[in-house]
Structure 1
Amino acid sequence: MSSLLKNLALSISAGSLALVAGATSAQVVTGPDASVDNFSRNRNTSVQQRPRRDYEAPGVRAGGFLVYPRLELSAERIDNIYATATNEVDDTVFHVRPELAIESDWNQNFLSAYARGSLNRYSDNESENTDEYGIGTSGRIDVNRQSNIGFGADFAGGFEPRTAPSAPRNAVEPTALNTAQAYVSGSRAAGYLKLSGRADWRSFDYEDGRTGAGAVIDQDGRDRDIMSVSGRVDVAVSPDTAFFFQATANDRQYDVGSSVIVPNRNSQGTEYLFGANFEISALVRGEIAAGYIEQSFDQAAFDDVSGFGARAQLEWFPSELTTINVAAGRTVEDTPVVGAGAYVANSASFSVDHELLRNVILNARLFWSRDDYEGVDREDTRVGANIGGTYLINRNLGINASFSTLDTQSDGAARDLDFTVNKLAIALVAQF
């Protein structure tokens, strides 16, 4: 099954990209349906996406580009900075986050780039201080009205959050993590048929940590590269509803691990989904899919994972001033937990955005996740919530305030820590 689906994903993806590349010379469906866009889902604009001309940064013109400088200054009160079950330590964290974004202002095609940083300083626990940065670019080539090619790449130098399920609990400082990713995609729509494909590469590089006694916490066994390729076929049954089939194959390669002591965690996986993409009148739009997922490991030390896979994303528009989002998913994720190669991640979320005034936006979100580890007796459940608001003073200034809580419960013989983290934050944002 794995080889069949992988070959299928590769075939569909290659075919989709080939169709895009040859779109200018390929014959397109003609007749009354040729000019109908059966795949756009833009009847509504969400609260977060809605343009606010009087409160948007004008940007700085630079030829055919617009440059958007941005600076965020924030303070955050955290009641459990180490995410521990007992002896919680609280602290106040100050963030300085500069950003520079560049976007093209062309009639066709699109190109953007960004550079951002974050200086994080703790009032009492200086060992938690970090400096983070990220750079990236993305673009789109419009081959013709119904075909395009997309691409992008990002690099980030950051740190693993203390709340992460795989973060070393005995590290005296946060674990440094460098990530990189790149993708290329293509799509072509013709009448009632749309073909699309995408190839992704992601890299994770963890730096070694140290315990309070000075011992090295080796993190090389977590470094990995992930390649994935997907292909998708959408068939429209009306201008607002389409059914699709999507196949995705991945290959996960770890930098180290080939001995009995440190088994190799290399694996190959596939995802096979059927679903529907729709926009029902002016009320609801979204996508729902279900199918089969599996991940097979090269080493017998780790159990293979297979079973039900799914994802869903729904937007409900009860009014022009309110947007409600519901999302859910079931995927297979990597883990460095001894004896386990992967866990099945189940997740669900519910959020509301409300435009109280043109320049006052309120938001609230609830989320739940459950990670079922394969090969060991462990199950982690996370429940969280956050509420907040944004006050746009003018085009150049805004204020954000939020409160969030996260409760983590771990069960089983190989259980992790139970902990709760609460955060209260306020930020001043300047944009130009």
Structure 2
Amino acid sequence: MFHVLKSIAVSVSAGSLAMVSGAADAQIAPTASGQLAQTQDAAVDNFSRSRNTSVSQRTRPDYEALGIRAGAFLVYPRLELSAETNDNIYATGAGEVDDTILHVRPELAVESGWSQNFLSAYVRGSINRYGDNEDENTEEFGVGTAGRIDVTRQSNIGFGADYVSTFEPRTAPSAPRNAVAPTELDTAQTYVSASRSSGNVKLTGRADWRSFDYADGRDGLGAVIDQDNRDRDVASLSGRVDFAISPDTAFFFQATGNQRTYDVASTVAAPNRDSRGAEFLFGANFELSAVVRGEVAAGYIEQSFDEAVFDDVEGFGARAQLEWFPSELTTVNVAAGRTIEDTPLTGVGAFVSSSTSIGIDHELLRNVILNARLTWSQDEYEGVDREDTRLGANIGGTYLINRNLGVNASFSTLDTESSGAARDQDFRVNKLAIALVAQF
């Protein structure tokens, strides 16, 4: 359901505003793969973690869109109008350029109203217009679907697919610094998952495929910036076993394998970065009384490259996501992770990314939600002397006028520092945004 301006609710759970965070990087993000498919059977007490309700999950009947009935489906039209000021639109360390950006984001979502099984689809766009720097103007588009088949009360099959035509944010570490216009990026992804629980044991499996296609750009002299060496397909397969020791605690083991295949053939001057990787994690999933719930895991990660010029990467892997409920009106979210990511740098295969964040959502009134979020991340490049550190902060609020209208406002800052012989530039970006959302 589109509870409380669907994108607003999702954004609050992340500690920012959907329309504001979208405005921040001027891109359309696909729906989280499997978000609709990875549901758990509430009747299975050993794996249900529904004792608490977070601020972002809480239903607000007087402020939820009713949708338009179309047979067995509900259709949710939505339109967002937002304005943003950005004091460093090119994310540079010197000669910062500021601008005001207007965003128009229409969206149409469809959800089934069946008592069993589930099917949804969406189509959305974003028209982004800069006041003084027309080369930054973009138009984005996304379409996708997700579903769940309830085989039995304890087992289901999930599936989904997305296609998004967007642009790489200027703040991305891989974005070409000399490009006169943002780099166009087309992504496609699909997945299928299956889950079955029986007694104290739950089995879960998932297969994913993602594709990244970057368009060539041009520098200030008109020369082509070749981006073909970044185009790639990523396939992954994971399996997980959960074993419950009580109705509120379960231990699990998860194994994931991936294969990353680049489109450009390897040459002596530009070897491609084809690789295979694995992740093995042991962890626990829990909900302790009415105070905290979450999942923590740690283990081993590795990525091995076909070309010897790239250093293989291996080491400690981890992820964590916790929710603390100091009161019914306040939710504190903590997340952390350590993963291996690809890099476009010549002669460098990957970097190890460590990240952590903390966010607070507070329901000041039934229709007034405040939030704050602090993020930190560090990228350690393998085979080259470079380390990037990012510190970000966001504060904002949502005012729900009625079930059809809402207003969001936020301020965010991102401070990036790079060190080492192959360092990138340091920069800071500050943004202030306000948005009006209409939904039906």
- With normalisation by structure 1, the TM-score equals 0.92
Residue 428 of structure 2, aligned match among 420, 429, 432? 420
Q: Deviations over 1:290-327 (max 9, x none)?
A: 00000000001100000000000000011110000000
- Spell out, residue by residue over 1:208-261, the C-alpha distance to the aligned partner (whole angstroms, 9 max, x if none): 000111000000000000000000000000000000000000000000041111
Kept after mapping to 2: 8 A contact 1:138/1:153: yes
Counterpart CA distance in 2 for 1:107 and 1:222 is: 44
Q: For residue 339 of structure 1, give the secondary structure of its aligned residue in structure 2.
A: coil
Q: What are the residue-to-residue correspondences of 1:211-250 with 2, within 5 Å?
A: 211-250=219-258
CA contact (8 A) 1:135 1:156 kept: yes
Instruction: Give runs of aligned pairs for residues 17-166 of structure 1, distance below 5 A.
Output: 36-166=44-174
Counting only pairs closer than 5 Å after superposition, residues 306-325 of structure 1 correspond to structure 2 as 306-325=314-333
Residue 18 of structure 1 corresponds to which residue in structure 2?
none
Secondary structure at 2:389's aligned position in 1?
Answer: strand
CA distance in structure 1 between the aligned counterparts of 2:44 and 2:54, rounded to whole angstroms = 23
8 Å CA contact 1:368, 1:382 repeated in 2? yes
Match of 1:3 in 2: none
Partner of 2:13: none
Match of 2:280 in 1: 272
2:36 aligned partner: none
Q: Structure 1 CA distance, aligned partners of 2:436 and 2:387?
A: 39
Whichever residue aligns with residue 233 of structure 1, its letter is: V
Alignment counterpart, residue 199 of structure 1, candidates 207, 219, 242? 207
CA distance in structure 1 between the partners assigned to 2:247 and 2:71 by the alignment: 38
Q: For the residues of structure 2 that align with 1:141 and 1:233, how far apart are their CA atoms?
A: 21
**Preserved contact between residue 355 and residue 378 of structure 2 (Cα < 8 Å):** yes
- Is 1:303 the counterpart of 2:311? The answer is yes
SS in 1 for 2:92: coil
Cα displacement (A) at 1:172:
0.3
Tell me the distance in 2 between the aligned counterparts of 1:233 and 1:73.
Answer: 44
| Kept in 2: contact 1:74–1:428 (CA 8 A) | yes
Amino acid at match of 1:218: D
User: Which residue does the alignment assign to 1:346?
Assistant: 354
CA distance in 1, matches of 2:52, 2:147: 24
Supply the distance in 1 between the matched residues of 2:392 and 2:423 (Cα, whole angstroms).
20
Q: How far off is 1:37 after superposition? A: 2.4
Q: Which residue of 2 aligns with 1:332?
A: 340
Q: Does the Cα contact within 8 Å between 1:200 and 1:229 map onto a contact in 2?
A: yes
Give the residue type in structure 2 aligned to 1:365.
R
2:300 corresponds to 1:287: no
Q: CA deviation at 1:36?
A: 4.8
| Partner SS, residue 170 of structure 1 | coil
Retained in 1: the 8 A contact 2:255–2:281? yes
Name the SS of the counterpart of 2:124 in structure 1: strand
Match of 1:371 in 2: 379
Separation in structure 2 between the aligned mates of residue 311 and residue 340 of structure 1, nearest angstrom: 25
Q: Partners in 2 of 1:377 and 1:212 — Cα distance?
A: 28
Distance in 2, matches of 1:335 and 1:279, equals 37
- CA distance 1:94–1:113, change in 2 (3 Å): same
Determine helix, strand or coil for the equivalent of 2:171: coil
Pick from 260, 274, 294 the counterpart of residue 252 of structure 1. 260
Distance in structure 2 (CA, Å) of the matches to 1:84 and 1:350? 27
CA displacement 1:87-121 (0-9 Å, x = unmatched):
00000000000000000001000000000000000
Partner SS for 2:374: strand
Partners in 1 of 2:183 and 2:346 — Cα distance?
Answer: 18
Q: How many residues align?
A: 398
Q: Deviations over 1:196-216 (max 9, x none)?
A: 000000000000000111000
Tell me the distance in 2 between the aligned counterparts of 1:288 and 1:96: 39
Measured in 1, the distance between the counterparts of 2:255 and 2:151 equals: 25
Cα deviations by residue, 1:347-369 (Å, 9 ceiling, x for unpaired): 00000000000000000000000
Structure 1 position 45, deviation (Å): 1.0
- CA distance in 1 between partners of 2:392 and 2:66 (Å): 36
Tell me the distance in 1 between the aligned counterparts of 2:123 and 2:44: 39
Quote the offset at 1:338 in angstroms. Answer: 1.7
Q: What is the aligned partner in structure 1 of residue 9 from structure 2?
A: none
Q: Supply the distance in 2 between the matched residues of 1:386 and 1:264 (Cα, whole angstroms).
A: 37
SS at match of 1:245: strand
The answer to whether the aligner puts 1:409 opposite 2:393 as a matched pair is no
Given that 1:181 and 1:200 are in contact with CA atoms closer than 8 Å, whether structure 2 keeps it comes out as: yes
- 1:429: Cα distance to partner? 0.3
Other structure's SS at 2:290 match? coil
The DSSP-based 3-state class of the residue aligned with 1:221 is helix
Which of residues 172, 189, 204 is equivalent to 1:181?
189
Unaligned runs of 5+ in 1: 1-34
Q: Name the structure 2 match of 1:357.
A: 365
Separation in structure 2 between the aligned mates of residue 371 and residue 119 of structure 1, nearest angstrom:
32
Distance in 2, Cα, partners of 1:338 & 1:83: 22
Normalising by structure 2, what TM-score? 0.90
